Chains A and B, each alone.
Chain A
Amino acid sequence: AATLGQSITPAFAANNIDEMTKAFTGGAKPVAGKVKLDLPEIAENGNTVPITVSVDSPMTDKDYVSDVIILADGNPNAGVATFHFSPASGVAEANTRIRLANTQNIVAIAKTNDGKFYTASKEVKVTIGGCGG
């Protein structure tokens, strides 16, 4: 094959989800569980997809969830949002609306005050992508 001056980017290049996961966990491997991710199975409009994340935690001064990151493996950038909780939050739960470029997996990773990581993921089928211009 001809040698090109630059490498060709594949049509579906993996985004930076691995780097962002590592940056959040510091290399620790998150354990599946405790995190609940609510998203529609099928999103007709990728421009605004409701997402609720909640983490099972007593949210006391001694035992609470401090941060939850939401990542998407099929968007141009994996980062979606990071929520910061404290015992003053009472409950580790948040809801927002997000953009999804195409059918992909959404991953939530929760960090506890004692440095443990929990995760959940869900695939969302997207009918009309949210990155059209």
Chain B
Amino acid sequence: MATSSVKPRIKLDKKEAKQGDIVEVKALVSHVMETGQRKSADGNVIPRKILNKFTCTVNGKEVFSADFEPAVSANPYIQFKFKATESGPVVLTWIDDDGSKIVGEDSIKVI
């Protein structure tokens, strides 16, 4: 489905790493993370809208993923680490309840 125009903010603690180094990734994405528990002023339930899945691949291989429930805050922040083994793109993908995606990319160089 559609890829959202929302631009996530991604920060790697290093651009270049030695083989086997641990790289830390921090990412923040703008999203309402509507729980589906709240009611609007007219008493109707505001429909749930959650980024329910997050995945990070490095050079096409998954290094970390997460499932998010409505208890994850709005504008979800995620921080995790991976082991540098090969150079390549670091691709972060969030999947919305409606199937749309938010994708962000950085890269790592293994020296």
Contact = CB atoms under 8 A, between A and B. Distances in A.
B13 to A, nearest CB: 13
A96 B62 contact: no
Contacts of A48: 73-74
A86 B71 contact: no
Given A76-B37, A81-B66, A82-B66, A90 B81 contact: yes
Chain A: interface size category: 20 to 34
Given A84-B64, A89-B63, A97 B80 contact: no
A93 interface: yes
Interface string B15-58: 00000001000000000000101110000001000000000001
Interface string A116-133: 000000000000001101
Interface string A28-50: 00000000000000000001110
Grouping DSSP codes into helix (H, G, I), strand (E, B) and loop, the A interface class, with mixed when no group exceeds half, is mixed
A72 interface: yes
Nearest to A20: B69
Interface in B65-90: 65-74, 76-83, 85
Given A79-B71, A80-B72, A133-B39, A96 B65 contact: no
Most chain B beta carbons < 10 A, residue from A49, A72, A89: A89
A97 B73 CA distance: 6
A110 B100 CA distance: 30
A16 B66 CA distance: 20
A96 B64 contact: no
Given A47-B74, A96-B78, A88 B83 contact: yes
Contact of B71 (A52, A91, A98): A98
Interface of B: 22, 35, 37-39, 46, 58, 61-74, 76-83, 85
Interface of A: 47-49, 52, 59, 72, 75-77, 79-91, 93-100, 130-131, 133
